Amino acid sequence: MDKLIRIDNLYKSFYDGDTELQILKGVNLNVHKSEMLAIMGASGVGKSTLLHIIGTLDRPTGGNIFYEDEDITVFSERELTQFRNDAIGFVFQFHQLLPEFTALENVAMSRLIRNKKNAADKDGNRYSSDAYENAEILLENVGLSERLEHFPSQLSGGERQRVAIARALINQPKVVLADEPTGNIDDKTSEAVLDVLQDINERLNQTFIIVTHDSRLSKRANRTVHLVDGKIAD
């Protein structure tokens, strides 16, 4: 299988005053293209920390992360921002949709911004946009074609989470990182969200890394790894 991400001997410490808190202590992990990988582990073990570092939202204390053989740990802040916008989609436990925008606008937003920036780079202020068209297709993909003009407050918890999934897909990322995507919704609603994740994975070959406590999610994943005492357990 083609390798998408290689995590090599990753370390992360936090400092509490002078006290060093070692969280990640030599994580080694490969992620393959098109796979749905679940990461499980006890509360406080460092799952979110690891996901943030994979997503370039935080930097490791040591070790390297390669995306298709490119070492992102040597990137500047500017390069990281660009890389994150182009290559990574995020789904969090709390969906973090913008309340004053519709489902369609929430999904289209980052692509609108990107198109505008790319167009401005090329030919000044003129730009055309496929953002709404793509957002509509993605909302159809997650079963929300009837909810395009709804605001987040007019959607159920599971629907909001599905909008968040569509939003994560809008720039065709190399990988979608999800931190407990079913952590904040009930069992039945979770099943609908899991259906969508699995469907997107299988039909669009989208690579996912999902941190979860939910054994039903790990059952649907292609592979589950466990983070134990700062390392991926054998």
Strands 88-91 and 175-179: parallel
CB–CB of 179/156 below 8 Å?
A: no
Which residue in the set 17, 18, 19, 44 belongs to the binding site for ligand ATP (CB under 6 A)? 44
The entry of ligand ATP, Mg ion, none that residue 46 binds, CB within 5 to 8 Å by partner kind: ligand ATP
Regarding 94 and contact with ligand ATP (CB under 6 A), the answer is no
Regarding 48 and contact with ligand ATP (CB under 6 A), the answer is yes
Regarding 182 and contact with Mg ion (CB under 5 A), the answer is no
The entry of Mg ion, ligand ATP, none that residue 170 binds, CB within 5 to 8 Å by partner kind: none
Residues 5-34 interacting with ligand ATP (rule: CB under 6 A): 14, 21, 23
Closest by CA to 180, choosing from 32, 23, 68, 43, is: 43
Q: Smallest gap, in angstroms, from Cβ of residue 61 to ligand ATP?
A: 12
Which ranges constitute the DSSP H helices of the chain? 47-54, 77-87, 103-123, 131-141, 157-169, 187-204, 215-220
Residues 47-66 interacting with Mg ion (rule: CB under 5 A): 48
Query: Measured between alpha carbons, how far is residue 54 from residues 1, 94, 154, 179 in Å?
Result: 20, 19, 33, 12
CB–CB of 9/63 below 8 Å?
A: yes
**Closer residue to Mg ion (CB): 43 or 76:** 43
Residues 160-189 interacting with ligand ATP (rule: CB under 6 A): none
Residues 129-148 interacting with ligand ATP (rule: CB under 6 A): none
Strands 223-228 and 36-40: parallel
